[in-house]
Amino acid sequence: MPIEPARLDILNALTRKVLWLSSWTIHHANHIRPNVDGLKVGGHQASSASLATIMSALYFSVLRPQDRVAVKPHASPVFHAIQYLFGHQTREKLENFRGFKGAQSYPSRTKDVDDVDFSTGSVGLGVAQTLFASLVQDYVRAHGWAKQRPEGRMIALVGDAEMDEGNIFEALLEGWKHGLRNTWWVVDYNRQSLDAVVREGLWEKFESMFRNFGWDVVIVKYGSLMREAFAEPGGEALRKWIDQCPNQLYSALCFQGGAAFRKHLRDEIGDQGPISRLIDKRNDEELLALMSNLGGHDMASMLEAFEAIDHDRPVCFIAYTIKGVGLPFQGHKDNHAGLMTVAQMEKWRGAQNIRPGHEWDKFEGLPQTPAEIEAFLSKVPFNRDGRRRLSAPVIDVPERLTFSPSAQMSTQQGFGLLLNELARGDSKLAERIVTASPDVTVSTNLGAWVNRRGLFARAEKADLFRSEKIPSTFNWDASPKGQHIELGIAEMNLFILMSALGLSHAINGERLLPVATLYDPFIERGLDALNYACYQDARFMVAATPSGITLSPEGGAHQSIATPLIGMAQDGLSSFEPAFVDELAVIMRWGFQHMQREYGEGGSVYLRLTTRSIDQPQRIMSGELESGITEGAYWLRKPGPNAEVVIAYTGAVAPEAIEAVGLLGESRRDIGLLAITSADRLHAGWTAARALRRDRRGVAHLSHIEKLLAPLPRDCGLVTVIDGHPSALAWLGGVRGHRVEALGVEHFGQTGTIDDLYRHYGIDANAIIDAAESLTSGAPVRHRKLAV
């Protein structure tokens, strides 16, 4: 259906305005505001221009409030400009683009005020986020929630070079497995990356790949000016020339202008009557307008393409564009960091009929009256409901999470038992838990939970082993009510799924409590996605197990060293490494609450667990013990007043620490044993307390670790021990100035028994004793553990 001319006029005018405002934002940041030097803008101008028409078509016409968008990072000025026209972004923040508290360089859910659906920045991740957000929407609806809201489309605006990122391909495969729907990816096919012009024929690779994964592919190559010209006599020859022109040459000619196009067309097609007439009847400016009228810059073509979609299959649009279109450096291969000069901007301002001093005016220089445009904007479907961030009530967490204890257990086993107990019950909490694992469901102890709660799939699918009555420990029946999402091995996908599940309250208005399991070392494989999920404040729990060299016979490639440090350094993620299952129960309960706290208060949770089965304490879980566990540490054995040494341990090495304390007892006075459940929480508490004291808001405030260490004599030594990098605990000496011997693992592990490896890497009882001895004076320690 042809698009009504008046609507087209207004949308074209808005596109020009968006391009102007986004360019002015960048220009302002570079040339006008004071203190510009540190905030100069690179990489935005040309990249943004590329998407101005496509984004205007979407936001001002095609999108509905329920649709969610991940915007290509460098298109943030365009996004902010559109939101400014809607009234969701302020001039003050635009003037302060890239400045402190100004509009962010890359759209940020947490830092920007203008209704960003998904943060972007690390290319590829926002793209995959939309795919998983769509699966999550299906999950929510299949469970009978959010039915009153229409289904949204999850849309990514993708740079063509962004498609190089492997996580996108991983996501495509996963999407295919789960019957992906309602997802649109719009590839800004400007054939340029940051450094270069992309390979010829890339679109064909994209096309076949997307079709292979069950997507529809819509190629929007020619704009309406082009299509009209193709219909003229000689038009077919023009089309052929365009199709055959190499990307780099086309870019170069766009940069050079109409005369250069004319020369090439003449030289390469020759004088062939109709085509020569077609070219000659246009002056240089008109010829450039024609040749740069690629589909992605043509409002009518984009609207037609989007509006023709009348189904929920996933669609990839490949929209041809020119990087930096309409600007002096359009098409130039070096234009990624291209900026307009003051003189160029002046000239452009004049051409746009924008009076000096009126650069930020929303309606300045447009052919329509402000009233007409305001009337149009007030009816834009996407903006009908204003800001679209949703929320959901907090789900109650029971007073206590229970499990059936054994005398000896591992924390991984305990994790499985705790979830099994939840699965058996009918709590609201259990109803909202969604688990996921990248092909390690069984080996991370999630099996019992899955047996009870089932796999999720939009359509029922029986476990054929079960229906064939073949004995198996596991029931893998899948149904729309299932609560476990089984993923392929790609850990990137796991964390992006966590990112999507963990934002369900804000996106779908329905809270989910996602729990992921994976092997601890493979956190590193998905690390950027984990960071991304935390950056946009998604809420989830990760149980990473097994971990460290404790995973002895598996060898060095499966043994994590750096993850305790990742746990500490990752913002938005509280990490724990309990030694005992009763601690884990307390931590998980706290975690489910923490996952639901407001932005700035709550966050996600990382549990570093182990398969090592150790003796479990029989004890009453007092309130004080509980808060010690969640704050990060408690005295397993309180030091006496004259303590010479304290052993502080984390996680699986608890038996070694306990044994060392026993052996040291006769030789050293008043030894303390500090159980550290979370180096991360301890350190964060310490930092926060120092900040409070610095601001004089809490002059007397002491953190948990300061209070714990306060009674120790000044010359008491601290031995810290962890199956991970020793620096995770070495900082404890800085709290009150105690000398530290920090034991841990600094080199790749290898196969062997736990005893072999603990001895080799120096985290066994004797290593602890040696360290204690080196920190203390007095006679040599009398007892040591004997080699077996």
Minimum distance between the CB of residue 49 and Mg ion, rounded to whole angstroms? 12
Give CA angle at 488 (487, 491), nearest 5°: 85
Min dist CB 186 to Mg ion, Å, is: 13
Residue whose pair of structure tokens reads 């299509």 in the numeric block: 227
Stretch that binds ligand TPP, among 186-194, 235-243, 338-346, 574-582 (CB under 6 A): 186-194
190 interacts with Mg ion by CB under 5 A? yes
114 scored as a contact of Mg ion (CB under 5 A): no
Q: SS in 3 state form for 306-332?
A: HHCCCCCCCEEEEEECCCCCCCCCCCC
**Would you say 123 or 587 has its CB closer to ligand TPP?**
123
Q: Please pick, from the candidates 190, 483, 575, 611, the single residue that binds ligand TPP as defined by CB under 6 A.
A: 190
Sign of CA dihedral 443, 448, 449, 450: positive
What is the sign, positive or negative, of the torsion defined by CA atoms of 25, 27, 30, 32?
Answer: negative
Spell 707-719 as b/e; 16+ CB within 10 A means b. Answer: ebbeebeeebbbb
Site for ligand TPP in 329-388 (CB under 6 A): 336
Peptide bond into 356 cis (omega under 30): no
Residues 143-182 that bind ligand TPP (CB under 6 A): 159-162
Question: Considering CB distances under 5 to 8 angstroms, the limit depending on partner class, which of ligand TPP, Mg ion, none binds residue 332?
Answer: none
Q: Which stretch binds Mg ion (CB under 5 A): 67-75, 185-193, 287-295, 661-669?
A: 185-193
CA pair distance 576, 714, nearest whole angstrom: 28
- Of the two residues 72 and 178, which places its CB atom closer to ligand TPP in the complex? 72
* Contact (Cβ atoms closer than 8 angstroms) between residue 212 and residue 182: no
Question: Looking at beta carbons only, is 79 or 139 nearer to Mg ion?
Answer: 79
Sign of CA dihedral 187, 59, 41, 258: positive
User: Of the listed pieces 87-95, 192-200, 452-460, 729-737, which binds ligand TPP according to CB under 6 A?
Assistant: 192-200
394 binds, among ligand TPP, Mg ion, none (CB under 5 to 8 A by kind): none
Helix extents (H) in 726-788: 727-730, 732-736, 754-761, 765-775
Draw the binding track, 549-568, toward ligand TPP (x: CB under 6 A; -: no contact): --------------------
CB of 338 to ligand TPP, least distance (A): 11
Which of 421, 340, 774 is CA-nearest to residue 332?
340
CA 357 to CA 772: how far, in whole Å?
A: 72
Look up residue 64 and give its DSSP letter: -
Q: Is 47 in the site for ligand TPP (CB under 6 A)?
A: yes
Q: Point out the residue whose Cβ comes nearest to ligand TPP.
A: 159
Q: Which of residues 138, 174, 188, 298 is near ligand TPP by CB under 6 A?
A: 188
CB nearer ligand TPP, residue 73 or residue 326? 73
Q: Which residue has the tokens 């990760």?
A: 542
Q: Which is nearer to Mg ion, 160 or 582 (CB)?
A: 160
Q: What angle do CA 514, 543, 531 make, to 5 degrees?
A: 70
Residues in contact with ligand TPP, total (CB under 6 A)?
Answer: 17
> 122 touches which of ligand TPP, Mg ion, none (CB within 5 to 8 A by kind)?
ligand TPP
SS (H, E, C) 538-600: CCCEEEECCCCCCCHHHCHHHCCCCHHHHHHHCCCEEEECCCCHHHHHHHHHHHHHHCCCCCC
> How far apart, in whole angstroms, are the C-alpha atoms of residue 390 and residue 497?
19
Distance set, CA 472 to CA 19, 46, 259 (Å):
61, 58, 74
Under the binding rule (CB under 5 A), the answer on residue 73 touching Mg ion is no
Nearest one of 122, 91, 85 to 105, comparing CA atoms: 122
From Mg ion, ligand TPP, none, interface partner of 123 (C-beta below 5 to 8 A by class): ligand TPP
Residue 16 touches which member of ligand TPP, Mg ion, none, C-beta under 5-8 Å by kind: none
As given in the structure block, the two tokens for residue 524 are 């590193």
Residue 73 engages ligand TPP in binding (rule: CB under 6 A): yes
DSSP reduced 3-state for 391: coil
Position 621 contacts ligand TPP (CB under 6 A): no
Query: Binding pattern to Mg ion, positions 129-168, x when CB under 5 A?
Result: ------------------------------xxx-------
511 binds ligand TPP (CB under 6 A): no
Q: Six-digit token pair at 143?
A: 């469970």
Q: Which of 10, 54, 123, 423 binds ligand TPP (CB under 6 A)?
A: 123
According to CB under 6 A, which one of 6, 32, 173, 194 is a site residue for ligand TPP? 194
Least separation in angstroms between CB 19 and ligand TPP: 14
Residues in contact with Mg ion by the rule CB under 5 A: 159-161, 190, 192
Residues in contact with ligand TPP by the rule CB under 6 A: 47, 50, 73-74, 122-123, 159-162, 188, 190, 192-194, 323, 336
